[in-house]
Structure 1
Amino acid sequence: MPVPILTHTSISHPRDVPTSVRPVTMTARDLQAAEFLRAHDHPWGQVTFALEGVLRVTANNSSWIVPPLRAIWIAPHVVHEVTVLETARLRPLCVLAERAPFAGTECKVLEVSSLLRELIVALARLDRRLAPAREPLLAELILDELARSATRPIRVPLPEDKRLKMLCASLIDEPGSPQTLGHWAQQVGASERTLARLFERELGLTFGQWRQQVRLAHAAPLIARGLPLAQVAEQLGYASQSAFSAMFKKTFGTTPSAFFAEGG
């Protein structure tokens, strides 16, 4: 069955392009699992957020897994693509470039506070014809809350080398795979030493470190939907729940339960 591919115009219309009068706009859209928004960019910034479901966002040679408690800030003119991993109620915010809450072109993982979530819901439900004065008020509150949002270091760097791309794509699709670098060397037609050198050169990480990043990124949607930590650890290839929790705390400075409680 072919994967449904959407263009960026599928979720954006001229009336929803942000302007100085309307600095924050939105086009709500519900998307099915496996739908794919092909690589594109636009002159405004975007906060990619889903009320429900899980997304994978790829931009700037990096990949992020986005559960409902998180969002991704994508700066103006940054090429990005979105894959729907689980049926999603997509509520993207389009932000006028001049009002961008963050400087530079780096993508950022944002904690979605309870207030920000309710503001997004309110904007999605707004009927501009009935309450035209309400939209600019919501926009200003959203911009203020975005600028105050905490950011999280959840990022999976992606390679350029075609052999490494094949390996990394397989692990992103199956993060719990226990296969060694030697196994992958045989699969992609390169020596283990060559792959190890490529990981260090292109991604700045060892194979083991990069795989941990992938696993921790995939942990987010599993924990967000309430899966017990023991099952999360098992699905992601950890020997035990304690091993998973220890790695999580080493990376983020807090336990998985506390990490997601803060986001909620």
Structure 2
Amino acid sequence: MRNIPVAEVDGLDRAVLAVGTDYPHDHLLPFHEHRRTQFLYAVTGVMQVETIDGTWTVPADRAVLIPPLTAHQVTMTGVTTRSLYIEPSAVPWFPSRCRVVDVSALLRELILDAVDMEPRYPDHGRDAVVIELLLHEIRNLTPLPLDVPLPADPGLRRLCDAFLREPDIHDPPARWATALSVSERTLGRMFRGGTGLSFTQWRQRACVLHSLRHLAAGVPVSRVATTLGYENPAAFTTAFGNLLGRPPTAYGPAAVRSPARSPRPPSTRVE
């Protein structure tokens, strides 16, 4: 199925619905939720998923797992998606919080194949086996550190939201402490309690993840590093690699695989 709102097919009696969607550049899906769990895969572009407790940056060839009834909004930058909407009863192991995962070549091909299935695929046969294998592969995916947790404290949350809009790797904790009328030590406790990260860890993660959409758009590493306040591209590349295990060039447009794929031909099976 392609470019169909999931609400139109949500009632189909199948455990998994596969939907492909093409979005305009810089498109915003405002806050909404789904009855089913969602496996949201970015074939191209970069997505940023936001919930009340964090943001998740999803580059091309990665996916985000969204639990059922989780209010979320998605900012799309040059994005084509393939989504699997899954009955919660079929995935009792699904995480209770959003999670970004890598997508293997096998899983990618299974997802692309599922989009071209008949919505009411037979309960038995090839398509049912593909769906079963899809769920098996998803269950065994390793989470990626592509999230920026956000605190519940209103004052600290406002400062975090402002930083995410204009990140600066040298933004001093003293400025945050002054804005909140607390000591730097108290600020550190607030960050650790509200996000699970120290201030320095949170600041660096926010900067690195902010860079992903610019790298995907082809902005040179040197310019991205300067914009974020790093002394030089080498310092940025080191911080980037420490978090993601790959250099910034691995997330540039040249590193993205082509999403082109011909629809599966109609079945010639004899009934």
TM-score (norm 2): 0.75
Q: In the alignment, is residue 173 of structure 1 matched against residue 165 of structure 2?
A: yes
**Distance in 2 between the 1:100 and 1:173 partners?**
35
Name 1:83's counterpart in structure 2.
74
- The structural deviation recorded for 1:12 is 1.7
**Distance in 1 between the 2:72 and 2:187 partners?**
26
- The structural deviation recorded for 1:17 is 4.7
Q: In the alignment, is residue 116 of structure 1 matched against residue 110 of structure 2?
A: no
Contact map agreement 2:169 2:204 (CA 8 A) in 1: no
- The structural deviation recorded for 1:123 is 2.5
Name 2:149's counterpart in structure 1.
157
Contact map agreement 2:93 2:139 (CA 8 A) in 1: yes
* Residues 255, 90 of structure 1: alpha-carbon distance in 2 compared, 3 angstrom cutoff: closer
Give 3-state SS (helix, strand or coil) of 1:68's partner.
coil
Which residue identity does 1:15 align to in structure 2? V
- The structural deviation recorded for 1:185 is 4.8
Q: In the alignment, is residue 62 of structure 1 matched against residue 57 of structure 2?
A: no
**Distance in 2 between the 1:108 and 1:164 partners?**
23
- Between 108-117 and 218-227, the greater mean CA deviation after superposition: 218-227
Name 2:33's counterpart in structure 1.
40
* Residues 18, 220 of structure 1: alpha-carbon distance in 2 compared, 3 angstrom cutoff: farther
Name 2:264's counterpart in structure 1.
none
> Could you say what the CA RMSD is over the residues aligned between the two structures, in angstroms?
3.3
- 1:92-130 CA-to-partner distances (Å, cap 9, x unmatched) read 21122233284441332111122322322222233458x
Which residue identity does 2:79 align to in structure 1? A
Give 3-state SS (helix, strand or coil) of 2:9's partner.
helix
- Structure 2 residue runs of 5 or longer lacking an equivalent are 258-271
Contact map agreement 2:56 2:99 (CA 8 A) in 1: no
**Distance in 2 between the 1:263 and 1:145 partners?**
21
- 199, 211, 216: which one pairs with 2:208? 216
Contact map agreement 1:101 1:147 (CA 8 A) in 2: no
**Distance in 1 between the 2:52 and 2:146 partners?**
14
Contact map agreement 1:28 1:90 (CA 8 A) in 2: yes
**Distance in 1 between the 2:81 and 2:228 partners?**
26
Alignment of 1:198-209 (within 5 A): 198-209=190-201
Contact map agreement 1:70 1:263 (CA 8 A) in 2: no
- 1:131-187 CA-to-partner distances (Å, cap 9, x unmatched) read 86654243223223323433312221101111111111111122247533333455x
Which residue identity does 1:118 align to in structure 2? E
- 223, 226, 235: which one pairs with 1:231? 223
- Between 174-183 and 90-99, the greater mean CA deviation after superposition: 174-183
**Distance in 1 between the 2:85 and 2:210 partners?**
26
Contact map agreement 1:18 1:94 (CA 8 A) in 2: no
What is the count of residue pairs matched by the alignment?
249
Which residue identity does 1:109 align to in structure 2? V
Name 1:6's counterpart in structure 2.
none
Name 1:15's counterpart in structure 2.
9
- 181, 186, 190: which one pairs with 2:181? 190
Give 3-state SS (helix, strand or coil) of 1:149's partner.
coil
Larger gyration radius, structure 1 or structure 2: 2
